[in-house]
Amino acid sequence: MATVTRRIGLSLGADICWPLCYEQIMKQLDLAIDWQGDRVGVEVERVSIEPYDLRQPCRYDVVLDRLTHWYHTSREWIKKAILMDGLYVLNNPWSVQSMEKQTTYCAMMQLGMPIPETWMLPPKSYEPLPDLQPTLRSYARLFDLGAVGKKLGYPIFMKPYDGGGWKGVSRVDNEAQLRQRYDESGKLVMHLQKAVHPFDSFVRCIGLGPQTHLVRYEAGAALHDRYTMDRDFVSPDEAALLRDTTLTINAFFGWDFNSCEALRQGEVWHPIDFANPCPDSQVTSLHYHFPWLVKANIRWSVFCAVTKRPMRRTLDWEPFYAIARRDVPYRERLRAYAAIAEERFEAARFDEFCARHLPHLDEVAWEFFGTQAAKDAVRAKVTALFPAHEVEAFTELFWKRVQAWRADNAAGAAATAATTRESQ
């Protein structure tokens, strides 16, 4: 039996808290996994940014990427490493680069998802390029913005077609507001989307590989209170539908890690924002849900590294469209889409791997999130975001919520520990 090492790289931007926790839990796990005749260890290191030869070998088996969506040097290095070195990356960088919200709306509309009615508007103003005026004189048509608003019906939301992080998003309640917001949008290309109004629940589903986690979301609250700590806020059938929706979207676009927002109106869940392939991962917003994210990251990245999971370099949409053409109820089609996703994410193999090789993760993570090291990671992120006079109060707030997670999961951690001891 040979001893081999898999390397996981963390490609980071402003991330502070989750990498600290990820690294320390991985160190405590001290993995030595028997896999296909080898004893496999796993090392973690942070990816540096520097000049590189295009033929330079990549030392990583898996990279957890937090830069592709905005930092071009890292994006191009990752694309090179996928093409030439067989690197596995969370997420597919070509898809992140090209699949803006417009594309995701169109694709999921075609699959039958109940996306609210959405229009795209030409920008209010343009970059003064040489061909601009001839193009506009010949082809741009005057339009009545008020008529578009009337057709959609108020309230509506105006938001950039490719935006993220709530940038440029505004609620519009009447024609005067619509014209004002459009005038303020400048050179941005905007969507107008009919509001799901009224709605009775707002849920964000985080997907990481085949793992999903539902959170009731309060969009109007302060950032640190938007992810609520509510439990049992959807029925089992609704939870299954939201899971299937998230897995379908993520597999369709090649996103291992993405979050999907949906609003419930009556008995229908309307997906409204689901092109988020660099989801918020900070304890300052996730708090109670933060340990789940860290554990899910560890499970999926270790699975991908140890098994040498091949990167799907291209997107194959035809199996989804073949199902979309079937004359069957939507819920049946959605389950069929999700079955493709489960196959692409190797859900059954993943579950078996985790049960066999990572049974102690729950116990190790539960213990870690009660330590001073974990609290120091919380404090480090709070210090980076909050003014000095608020650091202590918000550190204690988020730490209290992490401890609430530990209290709610104590029994599961104890059961896992007992099972692990029995198997040794």
CB under 8 Å to 99, separation ≥6 — which residues?
Answer: 253, 275
The answer to whether the beta carbons of residues 100 and 46 sit under 8 Å apart is no
Q: Residue 295: its pLDDT value, please?
A: 98
Q: Please tell me the distance from the alpha carbon of residue 351 to that of residue 303, in angstroms, as a whole number.
A: 10
Strand-strand pairing, 118-121 and 190-194 = antiparallel
Given pLDDT bands bounded at 50, 70 and 90, which one contains residue 419?
A: low
Structural fold of domain 117-194? Dna Ligase; domain 1 (3.30.1490)
Q: Contacts by 335-339 with C-beta closer than 8 Å and gap 24+?
A: 335/244, 337/111, 337/244, 337/247, 337/248, 337/252, 338/243, 338/244, 338/245, 338/247, 338/248
The answer to whether the beta carbons of residues 296 and 208 sit under 8 Å apart is yes
Outline which parts of the chain fall under CATH 3.40.50.
2-98
Structural fold of domain 2-98? Rossmann fold (3.40.50)
- Tell me the pLDDT tens digit for each residue of 225-262: 999 999 999 999 999 999 999 999 999 999 999 999 99
- Which pTM was predicted? 0.95
The answer to whether the beta carbons of residues 166 and 143 sit under 8 Å apart is no
What's the full length of the chain, in residues? Answer: 424
Tokens standing for residue 22 = 């990820």
Q: Residue 122: its pLDDT value, please?
A: 94
Outline which parts of the chain fall under CATH 3.30.1490.20.
117-194
CB under 8 Å to 288, separation ≥6 — which residues?
Answer: 227, 229, 401, 402, 404, 405
What are the beta bridge partners of residue 259?
206
Given pLDDT bands bounded at 50, 70 and 90, which one contains residue 420?
A: low
Q: Which residue has the tokens 């099972």?
A: 419
Q: Residue 249: its pLDDT value, please?
A: 98
Can you give the C-alpha Rg of the chain in angstroms?
Answer: 23
Q: Residue 201: its pLDDT value, please?
A: 96
CB under 8 Å to 124, separation ≥6 — which residues?
Answer: 182, 183, 185, 186, 187
Which whole number is the average pLDDT over 308-318?
96
Q: Please tell me the distance from the alpha carbon of residue 401 to that of residue 412, in angstroms, as a whole number.
A: 18
